[in-house]
Amino acid sequence: MRPFPGVTLAAILALLLPALAAGQTLEDYDYENLSFRGIGIDWGYIWPTKVDATPAFSLRLDLGFLGPAVRIVPTLSYWSSSMKTSELDRLGDRLEQLPPLRDRNVQIDAADLGEVEWSDLSIGVDTHLVWTAPLDIITYVGGGVALHALNGRGDAIDDTFIEDLLDSTTAGLALMLGAEFQPVQRFRLYGEARYTLASDVRYPGFRIGGALMLPQLQNAQAAPTGSR
């Protein structure tokens, strides 16, 4: 049986967190260490539970290090895809249970609902535990929280209560594992495996992108060696 992606990442975090946190105290962490250090844009692919697999696009800001090896990264992400036929059939089953439709023995399936698009615009903050690997590759594991604004639309459901059922704003969590490489000064390439969990949808995915970095004063206490 293959391990659940979120469980696998959680296990990695559980193993690494104690080692990275060893010897650090609350005094080591201070929001005054944070400053705008760079901006990145990435493309990825996700496999959500209720819609077809789809590309995803993200913008991320590097705010530097809150404390030793702890980096703060706000993110803005967007994806849109068609709902799976099985999900539309399930939605039809739910609608059939409404008293006005149930009393008339109305049958609703995916064909009745037509093509339904579901999109997600999320804004969140990730926290990375960062260290430098051989060849000056920056690696990290982390977790994040986000607010997801989910929106459903389709010719057959627009301006109906069905559209309202698909629209929601919900909090979500994410686990991530990534690496960065700086081929030229002040530019980084990065890749990240990620698992996102929200109340209405969950999905594994990956991202690849590039980030432009601003010149910064060196601060050996806040950042791991080679991470600038």
| Helix, strand, coil percent content, the chain, rounded in steps of 5 | 25, 50, 30
pLDDT for position 223: 55
pLDDT for position 92: 80
Q: State the CB neighbour count (10 A cutoff) for residue 161.
A: 9
pLDDT for position 39: 97
CA distance 196 to 122: 11
* CA dihedral (121, 57, 159, 104) positive or negative: negative
CB-based contact 146:116 (threshold 8 Å): no
Instruction: Specify the amino acid at residue 218.
Output: Q
The three-class DSSP label of residue 220 is coil
Q: Is the pTM of this model over 0.85?
A: no
| Predicted confidence pLDDT, tens digits, the chain (228 residues) | 444 455 555 555 544 444 444 444 544 555 677 889 999 999 999 999 999 999 999 999 999 998 889 999 999 999 999 999 888 888 888 777 777 767 777 777 777 788 889 999 999 999 999 998 888 899 999 999 999 999 999 988 888 888 888 899 999 999 999 999 999 999 999 999 999 999 889 999 999 999 999 986 554 444 554 454
pLDDT for position 108: 76
What's the CA angle centered on 124, arms 118 and 140, to 5 degrees? 115
pLDDT for position 186: 92
pLDDT for position 174: 97
Q: Which residues pair with 202 in a beta bridge?
A: 197
- Domains of the chain are 5-21+36-83+117-213 (2.40.160.20)
Phi-psi region of 15 (alpha: psi -120 to 50; beta: other; left: phi over 0): alpha
pLDDT for position 198: 93
Phi-psi region of 163 (alpha: psi -120 to 50; beta: other; left: phi over 0): alpha
Angstrom distances, CA of residue 97 to CA of 87, 92, 103: 16, 9, 9
pLDDT for position 195: 98
CA distance 57 to 36: 21
